[in-house]
Structure 1
Amino acid sequence: MKVTCLTFNPFQENTYLLHDDTKECLVIDPGCYDKQEQLELKEYIARHELKVVRLLNTHCHIDHVLGNKFVSDTYGVALEIHEVDLQTLRSVSVYAPSYGFPMYAEQLPGSFLKEGDRICFGNTELQVLFAPGHAPGHVVFYNEKEKVCIGGDVLFRNSIGRTDLPGGDFDTLISSIRTKLFTLPDDVTVYPGHGPETTIGFEKKSNPFLT
């Protein structure tokens, strides 16, 4: 499985494309907002001859959902989120203009994810882990075979997701990290929603919020 990160919008959000030798591809948290960002995503997919088969959100804060409608319309895939984060998604259209995104177009989910679901594409499988705290319906996607976790805004390199947004809760987030992420092997690579990747082992030893 290849993990490609494209960083979009003023929040510097990490959009992930996951694909394997079959060329089937997942798009996770598309943050592309303007035409140039949309073109960058589209050109990467075309250049590598990928077939987009699923569209997933780890959670539904504005910076992670700006490109949902573009990806859904362009590739004919339905959005998949955790049901608990539907309210988070629905609220984006209310506050998007005040955040400087007047052209935001809402894309509602076609189906819902839940803890323990298996996300299959090509020859690859991801497991859905429910990890709330940053957002009430936050999930992460774990590939056990290749020891990769697409972590959204739960755990960052030497930091954690903020909990001062609506639906956030510090104690819940810490519990999610300790019970869902820190139970993974130390050599699992975590690809976060912002900033560089890290590993479970590194964060256990050095993260000031968790040591």
Structure 2
Amino acid sequence: MKVEIFTGNPIQQNGSIVYNEQGDAVIIDPSCYERDEQEEWMGFIQMKDLKVHAVLNTHCHIDHITGNAFFTEKLGLPFYAHKEELFTLSFAERSAQMYGLAAYVPSPEPTDYLEDNQVLTFGDLELKVIFGPGHSVGHVAFYSEADALLIGGDILFKGSFGRVDLPGGDMEVLKKTIFERIFTLPDNTVVYPGHGPTTTIGEEKRTNYILQF
């Protein structure tokens, strides 16, 4: 399994395409906002001849959903998120105005809802859902044990963690998520966060600022 990161939109969010050698792929947190960003994503999909099965959101803060409408409409894809994220999605247009994203096209509501420990299978591509609230009420991460990788959204960053001052944020809940759901993964697991560089579970267990709380 491979992960291609696309850092886009004015908030510089790390969207990704997760794919395998057979060409099965999913789009996670599409960060594309401008036309050139959309073309970059589509160019990669076409170059790799990928069969994209779905759009997945770790959560529905505005920077993680700017490309939802584009891909669901252009490629006719289903859209997966946790049901609790309907709360977050409900204020996406107000967030777009606040951040000056005048060209934001509203995301559709999910066609499918994610559940904790659910195993998603798209062709030969397999990802496990880990429910991880705290940054938002319905946040999830996507984990592949076989490939030792985690698409973690805004739960855990290199040396930091997701903010909790937005609606639905809760520091104690986020700490519980990190210590009980994320830090229990193998140390060699590579973490692809929603912002900033990749890291590993082992490195963050040794050095992350969350340890001081």
Report the TM-score when normalising by structure 1.
0.97
Gaps of 5+ in 2: none
Q: Name the residue aligned to 2:176.
A: 175
Give % identity.
Answer: 45
* Code of the aligned partner of 1:197: T
Do the aligned partners of 1:128 and 1:142 also contact (CA within 8 Å) in 2?
yes
SS at match of 2:210: coil
Q: Name the residue aligned to 1:23.
A: 23
- Is 1:210 aligned with 2:197? no
Q: Which moved more, 1:192-201 or 1:92-101?
A: 92-101
* Code of the aligned partner of 1:132: P
CA RMSD of aligned residues (A): 1.0
SS at match of 1:7: strand
Any residues of structure 2 matched to 1:1-211 within 5 Å, and which? 1-106=1-106, 107-210=108-211
Deviations 1:68-98 (A, max 9, x none): 0001011111111000011101210123123
Deviations 1:98-131 (A, max 9, x none): 3111221222111110101111123221110000
Write the distance in 1 (CA, Å) between the matches of 2:94 and 2:195.
24
How many corresponding residue pairs? 211
Write the distance in 2 (CA, Å) between the matches of 1:24 and 1:77.
13
Gaps of 5+ in 1: none
Write the distance in 1 (CA, Å) between the matches of 2:133 and 2:93.
22
Do the aligned partners of 2:84 and 2:137 also contact (CA within 8 Å) in 1?
yes
Report the TM-score when normalising by structure 2.
0.96
After the TM superposition, list the runs of 4 or more consecutive aligned residues in structure 1 that deviate by more than 4 angstroms: none
Q: Which moved more, 1:95-104 or 1:56-65?
A: 95-104
Do the aligned partners of 1:20 and 1:122 also contact (CA within 8 Å) in 2?
no
Structure 1 pair 78–124 and aligned structure 2 pair: CA distance change class (3 A): closer
